[in-house]
Amino acid sequence: MKWFPEYNFILASKSPRRQQLLKSLDIDFSVQTREVEENYPDHLSREEVPVYLAKLKAAAFKTELKENDLLITADTVVCLGDRVLGKPAGYNEAFSMLSDLSGKNHQVITGVCLTSRSKQNSFYSVSEVTFKALTKEEIDYYILNYKPYDKAGAYGIQEWLGTIGINHIEGSFYNVMGLPIQKLYEMIKKF
């Protein structure tokens, strides 16, 4: 038996982490992606940014959805104070981001959008993460070995740096991985 057999789920994400997390809900889904410029207006609050980007990703599919399709789009940002950290462009930016996060608290915010032909619901989840003070050698080792250029804030909680560097997390661990799976499950039930 699979959950929610009435839907044909589509996950619009190349992220292996999001795919793994959605599989853990025991639902069948296909993966489809569209190239979308991930730009957002400057006036948005930190919480609005990933929701806006998730909706932007959904808009690329709107005319293609069939009757029973349920599209899941998501975006994750890392926030340090008022700064929104996206994906680093290269080594230097990744090193700078991780140096800034070192020894501090930051928030990971994931926006999720559920879209069908007739309606759309979106939500976000916030997790508070505390890093230990990282050495330059630890940051360098992580970037060179894990190449976190596809990750907001330049790190993956499930990778080496998360294992050795995170002192405390408040909120959903899965949200920090990129998909607040518990909240997503409840939102699909309400959809």
3-state secondary structure of 179: coil
Q: Which residues belong to the active site?
A: 75
Q: What are the Cα distances from residue 104, in Å, to 32, 79, 128?
A: 36, 11, 10
Judged on CB neighbours under 10 Å (0-12, 13-18, 19+), 77 is: buried
